[in-house]
């Protein structure tokens, strides 16, 4: 009796083992994912890069790749550099009357809240461009410096210092930026003026 029981046990082991011996690693992953992520009625799991799709649910995860803190940091650093580039376009555009460059920094429907001739006004980027009447590529006397950038996914806020040393004036500009069609654009701006 013991011999028969042992023979049945070996036969079961060999059958199960031979079933999995012919399976590829990918098939074993599929079976594992079906067991982990789906009920018994679901039979198909498809790997689309980092996502696994079963018949009725999408599971975002990967067996092989887990994003590291460094990956997230690199993305944030590169996004911050793109925000900085938009602000530098604004600074250079206003410092050298480069209207095309200045216009490219703003979203078309941006709103600027500024004090113009002692009156608080809401103006468009096109109206703002009209304030720069100097010849293109000539220095206007404005010296700009980015003081801070705070970035959160697809929005950012920034503070920029604008100096007019020959006039003894300093502006602090505050910006809201938004990533629109994969480009960072200024969507709002306000400023205050101070004596140096």
pLDDT at position 10: 53
How far is 91 from 106, CA to CA, in rounded Å? 12
pLDDT mean over 48-52: 44
**Is residue 88 located within the same domain as residue 179?**
yes
Number of domains in the chain: 2
Return the beta strands (E) in the chain as ranges. 45-48, 51-54, 58-60, 106-116, 119-123, 143-152, 155-164, 169-180, 183-195
- What is the domain extent for residue 18? 2-60
- 157 has pLDDT over 80: yes
Q: For the chain, what percent of residues have pLDDT higher than 70? A: 61
Neighbours of 131 (CB within 10 A): 10
**Residue 178 and residue 187 in contact, taking contact as beta carbons nearer than 8 Å:** yes
CATH of the domain at 177: 3.10.450.50
Residues 6+ apart with CB under 8 A from 130: none
For 45, counting Cβ atoms within 10 Å of its Cβ (0-12 exposed, 13-18 middle, 19+ buried), the class is buried
Place of tokens 């500009």: 173
**Is residue 19 located within the same domain as residue 91?**
no
**Is residue 50 located within the same domain as residue 89?**
no
**Is residue 50 located within the same domain as residue 143?**
no
Q: β-strands 106-116, 155-164: how paired?
A: unpaired
pTM for the whole thing?
0.62
**Is residue 118 located within the same domain as residue 188?**
yes
**Is residue 78 located within the same domain as residue 163?**
yes
**Is residue 28 located within the same domain as residue 124?**
no
Domain boundary residue, one of 40, 60, 80 = 60
Name the least confident of 26-35, 101-110, 122-131: 26-35
CA nearest to 93, candidates 106, 80, 102: 102
**Is residue 73 located within the same domain as residue 53?**
no
pLDDT category at 196 given cuts 50, 70, 90 is confident
How far is 184 from 70, CA to CA, in rounded Å? 23
Check residues 93 and 28 and name the one with the higher pLDDT. 93
């Amino acid at each position: 009796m013991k011999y028969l029981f042992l023979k049945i046990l070996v036969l079961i082991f060999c059958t199960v083992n031979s079933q999995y011996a012919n399976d590829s690693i990918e098939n074993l992953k599929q079976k594992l994912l079906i067991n982990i992520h789906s009920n018994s009625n679901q039979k198909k799991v498809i790997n689309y890069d980092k996502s696994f799709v079963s018949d009725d649910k999408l599971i975002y995860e990967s067996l092989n790749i887990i994003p590291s803190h460094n990956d997230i940091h690199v993305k944030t650093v590169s996004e911050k550099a793109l925000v900085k580039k938009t602000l530098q376009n604004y600074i250079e555009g206003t410092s050298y009357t480069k209207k095309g460059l200045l216009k490219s920094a703003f979203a078309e429907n941006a709103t600027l809240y500024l004090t113009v001739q002692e009156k608080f006004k809401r103006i468009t980027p096109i109206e703002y461009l009209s304030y720069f009447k100097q010849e293109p590529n000539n220095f206007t006397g404005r010296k700009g410096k980015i003081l801070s950038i705070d970035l959160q996914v697809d929005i950012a806020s920034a503070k920029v210092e604008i100096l007019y040393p020959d006039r003894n004036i300093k502006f602090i500009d505050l910006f809201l930026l938004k990533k629109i069609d994969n480009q960072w654009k200024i969507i709002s701006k306000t400023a205050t003026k101070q004596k140096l």
